[in-house]
C-alpha cells in the first residue's frame, strides 16, 4: 500500500497540493487578458446589458405579473449588436466554422492556393456586406423603434460597424496567413485557441 508521500515520489511532474506540514498549498496561474481586443470588451458589456434586460423582463412578467413591454424589443436589438460586433472576435481569432477535411488529401501547394482563396473570398464577402449595410442605413432612418423613439438605423449602424470590423479583421488574418505561409486550414493542429 502506498502512502501519500510514495505517490508524490512516483509522479514527480505533479506539484504537491499539501506541503511538508500537511497544509494546503495551491497557486493559481496568472491570468492574461492581453489577447482581448476592444470589441471583445464592448461585446461583453452589451451582452450583460442584454442579460439584465432579459432578467428584468422575466422578473416583471413572472414575479410582478405585469410584463414590461419594452424589454422584448430592446433585447432583440441588443442581441443584434452582440452578434454582429461579437462576430469580429471569431474573425480575428479565425475560429469561425471551417472544413479542413479536403486539405488532408490535396498536395501542400494546392492547399496553400485554396487557403489563400478562402481568405480572399472572406475579405470580399465582408467588404460587400459592409457596402450593403451602408446602403440600408439611410433607408431605415425614417423608421422608428416600436417602444422608444429612436430610428432603426441606429441598430443597422451597429450591423455595419460589425461588418467593418469583420472586414478589417479578415484582412489582418489574411496578411498573417500570407506572412507565415500557412493557415489553420492547412495545419489544424496549430490553431490558436
What is the pLDDT confidence band of residue 106, given thresholds at 50, 70 and 90?
confident
Average pLDDT over residues 12-22: 67
d(CA 30, CA 47): 26
Residue 104 has pLDDT above 70, yes or no: yes
Q: Residue 144 forms beta bridges with which residues?
A: 151
pLDDT of residue 34: 83
Helices and strands (DSSP H and E) totals, the chain: 5, 0
Is the separation of the CB atoms in 147 and 70 below 8 Å?
yes
Mean pLDDT of the chain: 86
Say which range, 29-38, 70-79, 174-183, has the weakest mean pLDDT. Answer: 29-38
Does residue 61 sit in helix, strand or coil? helix
Of 188 and 84, which is predicted with more confidence?
A: 84
Instruction: Look at residue 14 in the predicted model and tell me its pLDDT.
Output: 60
Rounded average pLDDT over 16-35:
77
Residue with cell 472576435: 89
Is the pLDDT at 38 greater than 80, yes or no? yes
- Is residue 183 scored above 90 in pLDDT? no
Amino acid at each position: 500500500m502506498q502512502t501519500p508521500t510514495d505517490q508524490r515520489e512516483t509522479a514527480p511532474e505533479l506539484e504537491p497540493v499539501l506541503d511538508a506540514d500537511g497544509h494546503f498549498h495551491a497557486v493559481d496561474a496568472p491570468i492574461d487578458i492581453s489577447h482581448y481586443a476592444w470589441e471583445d470588451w464592448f461585446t461583453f458589456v452589451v451582452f450583460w446589458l442584454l442579460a439584465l434586460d432579459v432578467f428584468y423582463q422575466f422578473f416583471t412578467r413572472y414575479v410582478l405579473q405585469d410584463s414590461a413591454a419594452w424589454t422584448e424589443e430592446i433585447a432583440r436589438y441588443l442581441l443584434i449588436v452582440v452578434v454582429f460586433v461579437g462576430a469580429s472576435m471569431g474573425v480575428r481569432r479565425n475560429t469561425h466554422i471551417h472544413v479542413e477535411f479536403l486539405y488532408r488529401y490535396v498536395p501542400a501547394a494546392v492547399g496553400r492556393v485554396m487557403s489563400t482563396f478562402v481568405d480572399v473570398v472572406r475579405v470580399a464577402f465582408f467588404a460587400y456586406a459592409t457596402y450593403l449595410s451602408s446602403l440600408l442605413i439611410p433607408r431605415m432612418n425614417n423608421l422608428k423603434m416600436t417602444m422608444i423613439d429612436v430610428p432603426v438605423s441606429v441598430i443597422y449602424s451597429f450591423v455595419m460597424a460589425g461588418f467593418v470590423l469583420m472586414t478589417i479583421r479578415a484582412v489582418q488574418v489574411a496578411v498573417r496567413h500570407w506572412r507565415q505561409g500557412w493557415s489553420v486550414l492547412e495545419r489544424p493542429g496549430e490553431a490558436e485557441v
